[in-house]
Amino acid sequence: MCGLCGCGEGAAHGVTGAGRVHAHPHETRRVSVERSILAHNREHAARLASRLAARGIDAIGLVGGPGAGKTALLEASFGRLGREAAAREVVVEGDCATDLDARRVVAAGARAVQVATGSLCHLDAQLVEHALESIALEDIRRLWIENVGNLVCPAPFPCGEHRRVVLVSVTEGDDKPEKYPALFAGADLLVISKTDLLPHVDFDAARCIAGARRARPGLPALLVSARSGAGLDAWLAWAGGGA
Protein backbone atom coordinates (compact mmCIF):
# COMPACT_ATOMS: atom_id res chain seq x y z
CA MET A 1 0.00 0.00 0.00
CA CYS A 2 1.09 3.50 -0.73
CA GLY A 3 2.42 4.93 2.52
CA LEU A 4 1.34 8.44 1.75
CA CYS A 5 -2.32 8.09 0.89
CA GLY A 6 -3.21 4.45 1.38
CA CYS A 7 -4.28 4.13 -2.22
CA GLY A 8 -3.12 0.55 -2.57
CA GLU A 9 -1.06 1.30 -5.66
CA GLY A 10 2.51 0.22 -5.98
CA ALA A 11 3.29 2.46 -8.93
CA ALA A 12 5.62 5.42 -8.63
CA HIS A 13 4.09 8.60 -7.35
CA GLY A 14 5.30 12.04 -8.37
CA VAL A 15 5.31 14.44 -5.47
CA THR A 16 3.93 17.86 -6.33
CA GLY A 17 3.40 21.18 -4.68
CA ALA A 18 4.51 21.35 -1.07
CA GLY A 19 4.61 17.56 -0.98
CA ARG A 20 1.39 17.26 0.96
CA VAL A 21 -0.35 15.63 -1.93
CA HIS A 22 1.32 13.35 -4.38
CA ALA A 23 0.06 12.95 -7.90
CA HIS A 24 -0.75 9.56 -9.31
CA PRO A 25 -0.03 9.92 -12.99
CA HIS A 26 -1.59 6.55 -13.71
CA GLU A 27 -4.95 7.44 -12.28
CA THR A 28 -5.48 11.15 -12.87
CA ARG A 29 -7.81 12.01 -15.67
CA ARG A 30 -8.22 15.22 -17.55
CA VAL A 31 -11.48 17.05 -17.28
CA SER A 32 -12.06 19.84 -19.78
CA VAL A 33 -13.79 22.85 -18.18
CA GLU A 34 -13.27 25.88 -20.49
CA ARG A 35 -15.09 28.33 -18.25
CA SER A 36 -14.19 31.95 -17.64
CA ILE A 37 -13.42 32.92 -14.06
CA LEU A 38 -14.42 36.48 -14.87
CA ALA A 39 -17.78 35.38 -16.27
CA HIS A 40 -19.66 35.57 -12.98
CA ASN A 41 -19.06 39.31 -12.60
CA ARG A 42 -19.42 39.85 -16.34
CA GLU A 43 -22.86 38.25 -16.38
CA HIS A 44 -23.85 40.20 -13.28
CA ALA A 45 -22.69 43.42 -14.96
CA ALA A 46 -24.59 42.60 -18.16
CA ARG A 47 -27.81 42.03 -16.18
CA LEU A 48 -27.36 45.32 -14.32
CA ALA A 49 -26.62 47.16 -17.59
CA SER A 50 -29.81 45.85 -19.20
CA ARG A 51 -31.87 46.63 -16.11
CA LEU A 52 -30.60 50.22 -16.22
CA ALA A 53 -31.21 50.48 -19.97
CA ALA A 54 -34.77 49.20 -19.49
CA ARG A 55 -35.34 52.13 -17.12
CA GLY A 56 -33.93 54.55 -19.65
CA ILE A 57 -30.82 55.18 -17.60
CA ASP A 58 -27.54 55.62 -19.45
CA ALA A 59 -24.64 54.28 -17.38
CA ILE A 60 -21.09 55.53 -17.89
CA GLY A 61 -18.07 54.16 -16.06
CA LEU A 62 -15.09 56.37 -15.23
CA VAL A 63 -11.72 54.77 -14.62
CA GLY A 64 -8.23 56.20 -14.22
CA GLY A 65 -5.46 56.62 -11.72
CA PRO A 66 -5.93 58.50 -8.44
CA GLY A 67 -5.92 62.19 -9.25
CA ALA A 68 -6.69 61.76 -12.96
CA GLY A 69 -9.52 64.25 -12.55
CA LYS A 70 -12.52 61.94 -12.63
CA THR A 71 -14.47 63.79 -9.96
CA ALA A 72 -13.45 67.20 -11.31
CA LEU A 73 -14.76 66.21 -14.75
CA LEU A 74 -18.09 65.25 -13.19
CA GLU A 75 -18.26 68.50 -11.21
CA ALA A 76 -17.60 70.54 -14.34
CA SER A 77 -20.13 68.49 -16.31
CA PHE A 78 -22.87 69.00 -13.73
CA GLY A 79 -22.02 72.70 -13.58
CA ARG A 80 -22.42 72.94 -17.33
CA LEU A 81 -25.70 70.97 -17.32
CA GLY A 82 -27.27 73.25 -14.72
CA ARG A 83 -29.04 72.45 -11.47
CA GLU A 84 -32.23 71.00 -12.90
CA ALA A 85 -30.51 68.54 -15.24
CA ALA A 86 -27.80 67.71 -12.70
CA ALA A 87 -30.45 66.62 -10.21
CA ARG A 88 -31.24 63.73 -12.57
CA GLU A 89 -27.67 62.48 -12.53
CA VAL A 90 -26.50 59.88 -10.03
CA VAL A 91 -22.92 59.03 -9.19
CA VAL A 92 -21.68 55.86 -7.54
CA GLU A 93 -18.35 56.85 -6.06
CA GLY A 94 -15.81 54.16 -5.33
CA ASP A 95 -12.94 54.95 -3.00
CA CYS A 96 -11.05 53.00 -0.40
CA ALA A 97 -12.12 55.47 2.27
CA THR A 98 -14.08 58.69 2.90
CA ASP A 99 -17.11 60.24 1.20
CA LEU A 100 -15.14 63.25 -0.05
CA ASP A 101 -15.98 62.62 -3.71
CA ALA A 102 -19.67 61.99 -3.05
CA ARG A 103 -19.82 65.33 -1.23
CA ARG A 104 -18.16 67.10 -4.15
CA VAL A 105 -20.61 65.83 -6.77
CA VAL A 106 -23.57 66.46 -4.47
CA ALA A 107 -22.35 70.04 -4.05
CA ALA A 108 -22.29 70.22 -7.86
CA GLY A 109 -25.97 69.28 -7.95
CA ALA A 110 -26.01 65.52 -8.54
CA ARG A 111 -27.09 62.69 -6.32
CA ALA A 112 -24.44 60.30 -5.06
CA VAL A 113 -23.81 57.07 -3.25
CA GLN A 114 -20.36 56.55 -1.82
CA VAL A 115 -18.98 53.02 -1.78
CA ALA A 116 -16.08 52.79 0.65
CA THR A 117 -14.34 49.69 -0.62
CA GLY A 118 -11.94 49.35 2.31
CA SER A 119 -8.90 47.58 0.94
CA LEU A 120 -10.64 46.50 -2.27
CA CYS A 121 -8.93 47.95 -5.29
CA HIS A 122 -11.86 48.14 -7.72
CA LEU A 123 -15.63 48.22 -7.94
CA ASP A 124 -17.55 45.30 -9.35
CA ALA A 125 -21.13 44.81 -10.52
CA GLN A 126 -22.29 43.48 -7.18
CA LEU A 127 -20.93 46.48 -5.25
CA VAL A 128 -22.58 48.87 -7.68
CA GLU A 129 -25.90 47.05 -7.60
CA HIS A 130 -25.83 47.07 -3.80
CA ALA A 131 -25.04 50.79 -3.77
CA LEU A 132 -27.99 51.50 -6.07
CA GLU A 133 -30.39 49.89 -3.61
CA SER A 134 -30.06 52.95 -1.40
CA ILE A 135 -31.19 55.41 -4.05
CA ALA A 136 -34.44 56.06 -5.94
CA LEU A 137 -33.88 55.59 -9.67
CA GLU A 138 -37.28 56.82 -10.87
CA ASP A 139 -36.39 60.09 -12.54
CA ILE A 140 -32.73 59.39 -13.16
CA ARG A 141 -31.33 60.10 -16.59
CA ARG A 142 -27.78 58.97 -16.17
CA LEU A 143 -25.67 56.94 -13.82
CA TRP A 144 -21.96 57.58 -13.43
CA ILE A 145 -19.83 54.86 -11.92
CA GLU A 146 -16.59 56.41 -10.71
CA ASN A 147 -14.25 53.55 -10.00
CA VAL A 148 -11.51 53.42 -7.40
CA GLY A 149 -8.52 55.38 -8.68
CA ASN A 150 -6.42 52.60 -10.17
CA LEU A 151 -4.93 51.92 -13.61
CA VAL A 152 -4.74 48.16 -13.12
CA CYS A 153 -7.42 46.43 -11.12
CA PRO A 154 -10.69 47.79 -12.59
CA ALA A 155 -9.76 46.43 -16.04
CA PRO A 156 -11.29 42.94 -15.88
CA PHE A 157 -14.36 43.97 -13.88
CA PRO A 158 -17.24 45.62 -15.72
CA CYS A 159 -19.60 47.28 -13.24
CA GLY A 160 -22.86 47.51 -15.19
CA GLU A 161 -21.91 50.56 -17.24
CA HIS A 162 -22.87 50.80 -20.93
CA ARG A 163 -19.74 52.69 -21.84
CA ARG A 164 -16.42 53.09 -20.07
CA VAL A 165 -14.22 56.18 -20.11
CA VAL A 166 -10.58 56.09 -19.14
CA LEU A 167 -8.96 59.33 -18.02
CA VAL A 168 -5.29 60.21 -18.22
CA SER A 169 -4.24 63.59 -16.90
CA VAL A 170 -1.37 65.40 -18.56
CA THR A 171 0.53 65.35 -15.27
CA GLU A 172 0.53 61.54 -15.22
CA GLY A 173 2.52 61.20 -18.44
CA ASP A 174 1.82 60.25 -22.03
CA ASP A 175 3.24 56.74 -21.60
CA LYS A 176 0.46 55.48 -19.33
CA PRO A 177 -1.54 53.66 -22.05
CA GLU A 178 1.60 51.80 -23.09
CA LYS A 179 2.33 50.84 -19.49
CA TYR A 180 -1.21 49.86 -18.51
CA PRO A 181 -2.75 48.59 -21.74
CA ALA A 182 -5.42 46.37 -20.14
CA LEU A 183 -7.46 49.30 -18.86
CA PHE A 184 -7.38 50.99 -22.26
CA ALA A 185 -8.29 47.79 -24.09
CA GLY A 186 -11.67 47.86 -22.39
CA ALA A 187 -12.40 51.57 -22.85
CA ASP A 188 -14.88 53.29 -25.15
CA LEU A 189 -13.33 56.74 -24.83
CA LEU A 190 -10.00 58.22 -23.78
CA VAL A 191 -10.20 61.57 -22.01
CA ILE A 192 -6.95 63.44 -21.64
CA SER A 193 -7.64 65.70 -18.70
CA LYS A 194 -6.10 68.83 -17.14
CA THR A 195 -5.12 70.15 -20.56
CA ASP A 196 -4.84 73.67 -19.07
CA LEU A 197 -1.55 72.38 -17.61
CA LEU A 198 -0.11 71.38 -21.01
CA PRO A 199 2.21 74.42 -21.24
CA HIS A 200 3.85 73.34 -17.97
CA VAL A 201 4.45 69.63 -18.59
CA ASP A 202 6.11 67.44 -21.21
CA PHE A 203 3.04 65.57 -22.38
CA ASP A 204 2.64 64.44 -25.97
CA ALA A 205 -1.09 63.95 -26.53
CA ALA A 206 -0.45 62.23 -29.87
CA ARG A 207 1.77 59.65 -28.17
CA CYS A 208 -0.80 59.07 -25.45
CA ILE A 209 -3.59 58.55 -27.99
CA ALA A 210 -1.42 56.30 -30.17
CA GLY A 211 -0.57 54.17 -27.13
CA ALA A 212 -4.23 53.83 -26.18
CA ARG A 213 -5.13 52.87 -29.75
CA ARG A 214 -2.56 50.11 -29.72
CA ALA A 215 -4.60 48.58 -26.90
CA ARG A 216 -7.95 49.51 -28.42
CA PRO A 217 -7.83 50.29 -32.15
CA GLY A 218 -9.95 53.26 -33.15
CA LEU A 219 -10.51 54.43 -29.55
CA PRO A 220 -11.95 57.97 -29.70
CA ALA A 221 -10.10 60.58 -27.67
CA LEU A 222 -11.01 63.97 -26.24
CA LEU A 223 -8.85 66.66 -24.66
CA VAL A 224 -10.61 68.29 -21.74
CA SER A 225 -9.90 70.79 -19.02
CA ALA A 226 -12.43 70.77 -16.21
CA ARG A 227 -10.79 73.94 -14.93
CA SER A 228 -10.90 76.07 -18.08
CA GLY A 229 -13.92 74.35 -19.63
CA ALA A 230 -12.00 73.58 -22.84
CA GLY A 231 -13.35 70.44 -24.51
CA LEU A 232 -16.34 70.17 -22.16
CA ASP A 233 -18.88 70.64 -24.95
CA ALA A 234 -17.43 67.78 -26.98
CA TRP A 235 -17.28 65.66 -23.84
CA LEU A 236 -20.91 66.33 -22.94
CA ALA A 237 -21.94 65.63 -26.53
CA TRP A 238 -20.21 62.24 -26.29
CA ALA A 239 -21.77 61.55 -22.89
CA GLY A 240 -25.20 62.54 -24.18
CA GLY A 241 -24.94 60.27 -27.18
CA GLY A 242 -25.40 57.09 -25.20
CA ALA A 243 -27.74 54.16 -25.21
Contact between 16 and another protein by CB under 8 A: the answer reads yes
Binding residue (CB under 8 A) for another protein from 106, 120, 230, 234: 120
Query: What string marks each residue from 40 to 59 as x (binds another protein by CB under 8 A) or -?
Result: x-------------------
* Spatial separation of the C-alpha atoms in residues 97 and 36, rounded to whole Å: 31
- How many whole angstroms from its chain centre is CA 117? 14
- Binding segment (CB under 8 A) for another protein, from list 84-92, 98-106, 180-188, 201-209: 180-188
Buried b vs exposed e over 81-99: b needs ≥16 C-beta within 10 Å? beeeebbbbbbbbbbeeee
How many Å apart are CA 89 and CA 227, to the nearest integer? 21
Q: Which is it for strands 22-23 and 14-15: parallel, antiparallel or unpaired?
A: antiparallel
Q: Residue from 92, 155, 191, 192 that binds another protein (CB under 8 A)?
A: 155
149 binds another protein (CB under 8 A): no
| Segment interacting with another protein, rule: CB under 8 A, options 31-39, 77-85, 99-107, 163-171 | 31-39
Among residues 177, 186, 211, 231, which is the contact residue for another protein, using CB under 8 A?
186
Could you tell me if 167 and 77 are in contact, meaning their C-beta atoms sit under 8 angstroms apart? no
Ramachandran region, residue 140 (left: φ > 0; alpha: ψ -120 to 50; beta: rest): beta
Among 12, 31, 54, 136, binds another protein (CB under 8 A): 31
User: Does residue 97 touch another protein according to CB under 8 A?
Assistant: no
* Secondary structure E strands in 160-240: 163-169, 189-193, 221-223
Q: Under a CB-based contact definition with an 8 Å cutoff, are residues 191 and 224 in contact?
A: yes
For position 65 contacting another protein by CB under 8 A, the verdict is: no
Can you tell me which of 85, 185, 198, 236 binds another protein, judged by CB under 8 A?
185
Which of 21, 107, 116, 243 touches another protein (CB under 8 A)? Answer: 21
List residues near another protein by CB under 8 A. 16-21, 23-24, 27-38, 40, 119-122, 152-156, 181-183, 185-186, 215
